[in-house]
Structure 1
Amino acid sequence: MLKKTALFMLLSIGFSGMKAQQTIPFRITKHNNIIVKTLVNKKDSLDLMFQIAMKDYSLSPERKRKADHIIFSKEEISDHNTVDIGKITQKNVRFFDNQLTGHEADGKIGTGIFDGKAFKIDYDNNQFVIFDKMPDLNGYQPLNIILDHEGFYLAGDNIINRDQQQEAYFVLQSGFSGAILYSNEFAEEKHLDKRLKVIGEKTLKNSEGKTLTTKQAILPYFKLGKSVFKDIPAGFFSGELKTQNVSYLGADMLRRFIWIFDADRKIAYIKPSKYFSEPYYKMN
């Protein structure tokens, strides 16, 4: 009897340990965006793009699937919604309306579903993992992060030429398909249009005749933690319109690692994913 009791206790401990984490499957588009299948208010089936730079949810004006059971106010906000993702149910969810999203998505899903928990973005197995306590971090390297206005900021080293290495802070931006996009301030201060090899550009004008030029260039080296990347596509803007206030570390760079974020959002742990050495995404 004692042996059976001990065996039952061991099995119970094992099963309770298994329940200490939950998984959410996703798929990755050819534009490096993460798509999560959701059921909203038990009625509307939506494909939502994961946006690490926001907390709540949103719908796109260009969505292909119906969302008739999400009722918005005049301010284009909808509260008290329920979202089912696999076996996970999240209640009292807020949606914003008319926010643009990535290819193949009806809207966006933010990080709110991970509140108070450590979580992993596992690009090798196409899934998020939510932890009640930190998992084994063997093989991962830590990076300090700063959480500010729902954005995750971290430092990266930019080798613009052989004798100039510049540290800059980047906000993780899973909605931007490319690798790096620099802020106007960084691009102007470091004279990127003169110091980097520009491989493409496009100029637009607004209704007032003011110009905005997007430029694609090649950054010789970029260092994130201990990992070094060579000849990375990097974008920046020039012209009269100064719209890019922060620098982005985009989805092409995010997918090259498996990420674990602690519950306090103070440290991200990374290790190379199966995409680490893949060719860089080409922006149009």
Structure 2
Amino acid sequence: MLKKTGLLLLFSAGFLSTKAQQTIPFRITKYNNIIVKTVVNKKDSLDLMFQIAMKDGAISPERKRKADHIIFNKEEISENNTVDIGKLSFKDILFTDNQLTGPEADGKIGTGLFEGKAFTIDYDNNQFVIFDKMPDLKGFQPIQTIYDQDAFYVVGDNVIDGHRQEEGHFVLQSGYSGGILYSNPFAEEKDLNKKLKITGEKTLKDSKGRSLVTKQAVLPFFKLGDMVFKNISIAFFAGEIKTQNVSYLGADMLRRFIWVFDADRKTAYIKPSKYYSEPYYKIN
């Protein structure tokens, strides 16, 4: 059985390599963020966090490395930049200045690297693979995606109270380290504060004294496609500040699958990665 499985894996890897046009290596931080090593405008060596919920790039004010060769205008926009990753070179990349990013990153880079192409986020081998044509999808299951304003939306089923499934739309958000973060409207409508087991709470106040309460809780069941997760760690906001208008499917959930996105961004294909059964990440 082990020999047969090994042969299948070798055959699958070999088949994918014949279809693959380009590969981009990455590393995963302890915060579940994807970091890509880049050289911008042939001069600035920057570690950029991959952000699936944006198309372009951004530079952080808290960066550790210099970005002296990215020239910004008065609107803090820089156009027509080149980004080199290994032997690959990408042109006409736009950067925005002064956007915060995840730990260990000097900025962010989005899905503009894959413009007009199908691509894979391969968490098993720590790489993106860019295709001219769709690869072999044996073992993957399709899930519908809505691509709107540079972000991917997927539908997940949430079992909050008993066995009733509550459908929700989630933005794929690789910059959020946790698994699921619910929007304020969803949390209030479904009364998550009373219906879920609360495991943690943190309160912050703004300059006007208004409170932002982050609550950690346990969701009995979550379903994406045909795959069901039990007792999943989730978060939502409470208090007077209500700015979270969309729900996130964060990096802790993204890493549990290998993802293939088609070129027209209407369908994603998923199958379990090596992280599928890892313990859930808990936001401090």
Give the TM-score, by structure 1 length: 0.93
Paired residue for 1:21? 21
- Indicate whether 1:238 and 2:238 are aligned: yes
Paired residue for 2:104? 104
- Indicate whether 1:270 and 2:282 are aligned: no
Paired residue for 2:229? 229
CA distance in 2, matches of 1:20, 1:69: 32
> How does 1:119-268 map onto structure 2 within 5 Å?
119-268=119-268
Q: Runs of 5+ in structure 1 lacking a partner?
A: 1-16
- Indicate whether 1:118 and 2:118 are aligned: yes
User: 1:20: how far off?
Assistant: 4.8
User: 1:171: how far off?
Assistant: 0.3
Aligned-residue identity in percent: 75
- Indicate whether 1:63 and 2:60 are aligned: no
Q: Which amino acid aligns with 2:168?
A: A
Q: Which amino acid aligns with 1:67?
A: A
The Cα offsets for residues 120-145 of structure 1, whole Å up to 9 and x where unpaired, read as 00000000000000000000000000
Q: Which amino acid aligns with 2:275?
A: Y
CA distance in 1, matches of 2:230, 2:87: 41
User: 1:163: how far off?
Assistant: 2.9
CA distance in 2, matches of 1:118, 1:178: 26
CA distance in 1, matches of 2:209, 2:274: 45
RMSD: 1.2
CA distance in 2, matches of 1:184, 1:83: 37
CA distance in 2, matches of 1:163, 1:135: 37
User: 1:56: how far off?
Assistant: 0.2
The Cα offsets for residues 75-126 of structure 1, whole Å up to 9 and x where unpaired, read as 1111111110112111111100000000100000000010100000000000
CA distance in 2, matches of 1:19, 1:88: 17
CA distance in 2, matches of 1:156, 1:166: 8
**Bigger Cα Rg:** 1
The Cα offsets for residues 196-236 of structure 1, whole Å up to 9 and x where unpaired, read as 00011111111111111110000011000011101111100
SS in structure 2 at match of 1:32: coil
Q: Which amino acid aligns with 1:109?
A: I
Give the TM-score, by structure 2 length: 0.93
Q: Which amino acid aligns with 1:203?
A: T
Paired residue for 1:73? 73
CA distance in 1, matches of 2:167, 2:214: 22
SS in structure 2 at match of 1:231: strand
CA distance in 1, matches of 2:152, 2:19: 28
SS in structure 1 at match of 2:160: strand
Alignment check: 8 A CA contact 2:19 2:133 kept: no
Paired residue for 1:11? none
Q: Runs of 5+ in structure 2 lacking a partner?
A: 1-16
Q: Which amino acid aligns with 2:177?
A: S
Aligned residues: 269
Paired residue for 2:92? 92
